Structure 1
Amino acid sequence: MHSYIRTHATESALLLVILLISLFLSFATENFFTLGNAFDLLNTSSVNIIFAVGLLVVLIAGGIDISFAVAASVVQYVTAVMLGWIGGGNWLFGFLLAGTAGIVLGAFNAFLIHRFRIISIVATISTFNIYFGLLMFFTKGVSIYDLPDWLTTRVVLFEHEMANGTWVEITLPVLVMVVCVIATWLLITRTTTGRQLYAFGDNPEGARRFGIPIGAMQFIAFGWLGLMAGIAGLVQAHYAQEVVPNALYGRELDVLAAVVLGGARLGGGKGSVFGCVLGVLLVSITQNGLNLMGVSPFAFKMIVGAIILVAITLSNTSIEKLLPLARSEGKRP
């Protein structure tokens, strides 16, 4: 048990923090510690968790992408339009269409980064604006409400009647999220490609000397995030029962904060799926608790910004370097 805690320190710390925050919120609010709120948290967190496991692969490979939420919005809209053209479709065709479109957008990011040697954050800032600008230009901000019946019909996996007569339920997004989490876990822990992604993120030059194809690593990482973004976009359309062009705009920083909270290193070569999921849940629980307590949503944005700032600081300056600096500062007269 002690060895597990030592080797999974980040995940263990996150579990402890989640328990402490949940305990505090159960006393501070009336509705937090209820089955209905727990199910709502799980349903609403599903899309962000799908985003997060995709972003995790990019971070492991030493990259960073802030365009995935906007890419999901583009995929969402394109998929809805194409489904209208063909007269409906079904879930299988919808996932194939959305996943393929997402991979194409992710591969475009990888192409820019690999072909033109552009830093990933710069490339994805550019595509973030390109994707969002094109989406708003062609859609004029108009939402799509006329979606196929199969996409808007709620799929309930589990439901329970509360004492007050209301029903709480777990819906399809949770199942899709579980599949995406397991698929990502298998990719990064049970395949040669996953080991190569870790090696590439930890030491790109060393990975190149060992014969790991650099271009392939970038296309796999950003393509996987594109796939997850496409799936998340379709799931969001199902959950909201409409397609709003800017509905996912702004989620990228929340997801990034959650993933680095979960132990993913911005410098690459480190991160786990379990920590990633815990990071999203911690961010979701914090946001949910602040809402229930009536705290301004801007306070949550401050928390997200602080998380990213600390993560960037620690990724550039190790703890070992910080401690001697602190000791030398303390010795000064």
Structure 2
Amino acid sequence: MRRLILGHTTEFTLLAVMIVLCIGLSFATDRFLTISNAFDVLNVSAVNIIFAVGLLVVLISGGIDISFAVAASVVQYVTALALGALGGGNWAEGFIVAGTVGIGLGLINAALVYRLRIISIVATISTFNIFFGLLMFFTKGVSIYDLPEWLTTRVVFFEREMADGSWVELTLPVVVMILCCFATWFMISRTTIGRQLYAFGDNPEGARRFGINIGAMHYISFGWLGLMAGIAGLMQAHYAEEVVPNALYGRELDVLAATVLGGARLGGGKGSVIGCVLGVLMVSITQNGLNLMGVSPFAFKMIVGAIILIAITLSSARIDKLLPFLAKGNAKRGSSHS
């Protein structure tokens, strides 16, 4: 048990902070600690979690990308137009088109970083502005409301009416989010590519000398984020039942902050899917609780920023400093082996 906690310091600390926060919010508003509200938070968080697990792979490899939300906006528009040209399409075609366009946009970032040797944050700031500028120029900011019926029809995998008359639903975005989380976890934890991504992010020069294909690491990490951005864009269109050019604009910093909050290191070589998910949920829970309390929306960013700062500070602390009994246990084991 102690080894498990020590090996997942950030995740356990963040989970503890979330529990304390939930207890506090449950006293502040009686609507917070309900099953229907919990499902609402999960449904609303699905798109951001898909973004976050894609960004996690880039962060693990030592890069950074802030263009993914705008890329997802581009994917929404291109997919909607492509499906219209195909006569309406279906879910399979929708995922193929969205995923392909998303990967293509991700590979553009990878090429800028690897081929032109541009620092990833500079490259993605550039593509952020290029993608968004092109999108607004060609669309003139006009939204698309005439989407295929299959895309706008809510897909509910589970629903139940509660005693108080409210409904709980498990929708398609949540199921897709779970699949994306599993796929990302499997790639970074159970494949050679995942181990190489961690090694490259932790020590790029050492990875190069060890024979790891550096170009492949860039293309895989940014391509994976592009794929997740494409899927997230499609799920956003399904959830909102419309395509709005700037609907996802501004989410990149919230997702980046939540991913780092979950333990991903900006310098690379560290991060986990569970920590990533907890980070996004932490931010979503905070915003949901503040909303139920009637706090002004203008205070959201300030309060959420403070929560993130505190949580990151706690997550950075060693668990043996937070839990003295673990430190004593480690000391005893050390003396017994000496």
Any gaps of 5 or more consecutive residues in structure 2? Answer: 319-338
Compute the TM-score of the two structures, normalised by the length of structure 1: 0.91
Any gaps of 5 or more consecutive residues in structure 1? Answer: 321-333
Compute the TM-score of the two structures, normalised by the length of structure 2: 0.90
Letter in 2 for 1:229: A
Question: Does the aligned pair in 2 maintain the 1:66–1:124 contact within 8 Å?
Answer: yes
Structure 2 counterpart of 1:247: 247
Alignment of 1:112-261 (within 5 A): 112-261=112-261
Per-residue CA distance 1:169-198 (angstroms, 9 max, x = gap):
111001000000000000000000000000
Return the alpha-carbon distance in structure 2 between the equivalents of residues 117 and 309 of structure 1: 32
Quote how far apart the aligned CAs of 1:130 are: 0.3
Quote how far apart the aligned CAs of 1:99 are: 0.3
Question: Does the aligned pair in 1 maintain the 2:62–2:200 contact within 8 Å?
Answer: yes
Equivalent position SS for 1:159: strand
Return the alpha-carbon distance in structure 2 between the equivalents of residues 311 and 229 of structure 1: 26
Per-residue CA distance 1:279-314 (angstroms, 9 max, x = gap):
011010011111111223333323555578789999
Letter in 2 for 1:44: V
Residue 79 in 1 paired to residue 50 in 2?
A: no
User: Per the alignment, do residues 129 and 172 of structure 1 end up closer, same or farther by CA in structure 2, a change over 3 Å counting?
Assistant: same
Question: Does the aligned pair in 1 maintain the 2:62–2:201 contact within 8 Å?
Answer: yes
Alignment of 1:90-105 (within 5 A): 90-105=90-105
Structure 2 counterpart of 1:272: 272
Question: Does the aligned pair in 1 maintain the 2:14–2:311 contact within 8 Å?
Answer: no
Question: Does the aligned pair in 2 maintain the 1:266–1:311 contact within 8 Å?
Answer: no
Structure 2 counterpart of 1:323: none
Structure 2 counterpart of 1:46: 46
User: Per the alignment, do residues 312 and 124 of structure 1 end up closer, same or farther by CA in structure 2, a change over 3 Å counting?
Assistant: farther
Structure 2 counterpart of 1:68: 68
Per-residue CA distance 1:142-162 (angstroms, 9 max, x = gap):
111111111011111111112
Per-residue CA distance 1:239-274 (angstroms, 9 max, x = gap):
110000000000001100110010000000000001
Residue 15 in 1 paired to residue 12 in 2?
A: no
Question: Does the aligned pair in 2 maintain the 1:257–1:307 contact within 8 Å?
Answer: no
Equivalent position SS for 2:169: strand
Question: Does the aligned pair in 2 maintain the 1:260–1:308 contact within 8 Å?
Answer: no
Per-residue CA distance 1:204-243 (angstroms, 9 max, x = gap):
0110011111111000000000000000000000011000
Equivalent position SS for 2:115: helix
Q: Give aligned-pair identity as a percent.
A: 78
Runs (4+) of structure 1 moved beyond 3 Å? 303-314
Return the alpha-carbon distance in structure 2 between the equivalents of residues 200 and 45 of structure 1: 30
Equivalent position SS for 2:20: helix
Question: Does the aligned pair in 2 maintain the 1:68–1:226 contact within 8 Å?
Answer: yes
Residue 28 in 1 paired to residue 39 in 2?
A: no
Q: What is the root-mean-square deviation in Å for CA atoms of aligned residues?
A: 2.0
Quote how far apart the aligned CAs of 1:6 are: 1.1
Return the alpha-carbon distance in structure 2 between the equivalents of residues 117 and 289 of structure 1: 44
Letter in 2 for 1:46: A
Question: Does the aligned pair in 2 maintain the 1:254–1:304 contact within 8 Å?
Answer: no
Quote how far apart the aligned CAs of 1:164 are: 3.6
Equivalent position SS for 2:157: strand
Question: Does the aligned pair in 1 maintain the 2:17–2:311 contact within 8 Å?
Answer: no
User: Per the alignment, do residues 104 and 92 of structure 1 end up closer, same or farther by CA in structure 2, a change over 3 Å counting?
Assistant: same
Equivalent position SS for 2:184: helix
How many residue pairs align between the two structures? 318
Question: Does the aligned pair in 1 maintain the 2:75–2:102 contact within 8 Å?
Answer: yes
Structure 2 counterpart of 1:294: 294
Equivalent position SS for 1:80: helix
Return the alpha-carbon distance in structure 1 between the equivalents of residues 156 and 92 of structure 2: 18
Return the alpha-carbon distance in structure 2 between the equivalents of residues 74 and 254 of structure 1: 19
Question: Does the aligned pair in 2 maintain the 1:49–1:280 contact within 8 Å?
Answer: yes
Letter in 2 for 1:13: T
Equivalent position SS for 2:158: strand
Return the alpha-carbon distance in structure 2 between the equivalents of residues 213 and 177 of structure 1: 30
Quote how far apart the aligned CAs of 1:115 are: 1.1
Letter in 1 for 2:253: L
Equivalent position SS for 1:116: coil
